[in-house]
Amino acid sequence: MRSTVFLVLAFVLCGCESITNTLPPNASAADIIKESKTLSEVKSLPPPMGQIPVSVYAFRDQTGQYKPSSGASSFSTAVTQGATSILVQTLSETSWFLPVEREGLQNILTERKIIRADENNDGDLPPLTTARIIIEGGVISYDTNIRTGGAGVEYFGVGASELFREDLISIYMRAVDVRTGQVLISVSTSKKVLSQEVRAGLFRYVSLKRLLEAETGYTTNEPMFECVKQGIEKAVTELVLRGMDKGVWRSKT
């Protein structure tokens, strides 16, 4: 009897060797966000004739989507609400644009008032840098279950399966001339969000009154933050390239 149990357990373990990440992850220290392929494209753009001052007032989630939940209602949004910060960071990574602070403009104005009110300060402050271009737009769509599927097999109580799901986010971005209000360039990008589940299990009677059952598996979900970040980085790259094609700005080369 024991030999039969050991043989079945060995078979399950051998069949599950390809399944990784089944153990809980260990705690890890904070780390910097790794550079993505789309950010490398932003940094590899040809050098410009000169940096263009740009401002971003709001680049937010316009989907209105909330995270799916079972049972009680959830008020957590499906898309990150920090798209403005991601866009400003991306603009600062390229040599084409010089982003000026506008989301926290009221804080800057308050600090300047405090400096002027200081008796020990002459109050001589340089004027704020003005922007020539305003970047507008946002995350305009989040579509779930664009594609779902999977595969599985089971034989003699031993089985394995794999399921996947694809979602899609879409981003629109436009450059607006501050002097005329004209929309100079408008671009759009999309990014798939992949979720995957892998399982393997065993369900078998090893004797008349003895049942052996084992199960293992893992799931992976592509972080929504990374998807929004890569979509914005791709949009900035396309914005620069399309602006060069239309003659809105020029590169040194």
pLDDT of residue 1: 45
CA nearest neighbour of 82 among 252, 232, 240, 188 = 232
pLDDT at 166: 93
| pLDDT score at 186 | 96
For the stretch 45-83, pLDDT in tens is 999 999 999 999 999 888 877 776 555 555 567 788 889
| 3-class SS letters over the chain | CHHHHHHHHHHHHHHCCCCCCCCCCCCCCCCCCCCCHHHHHHHCCCCECCCEEEECCCCEECCCCECCCCCCCCCCECCCCCHHHHHHHHHHHCCCEEEECCCCHHHHHHHHHHHHHCCCCCCCCCCCCCCCEEEEEEEEEEEEEEEEEEEEEEECCEEEEEEEEEEEEEEEEEEEECCCCCEEEEEEEEEEEEEEEEEEEEEEECCCCCEEEEEEEEEEECCHHHHHHHHHHHHHHHHHHHHHHHCCCCECC
212 beta partners: 204
180 burial class (0-12, 13-18, 19+ CB within 10 angstroms)? exposed
pLDDT beneath 50: ranges in the chain: 1-19
Q: What is the pLDDT of residue 11?
A: 46
Q: Could you tell me the pTM of the whole model?
A: 0.81
Q: What CATH fold (topology level) applies to the domain 2-18+40-104+132-246?
A: Rossmann fold (3.40.50)
Domain ranges of the chain: 2-18+40-104+132-246
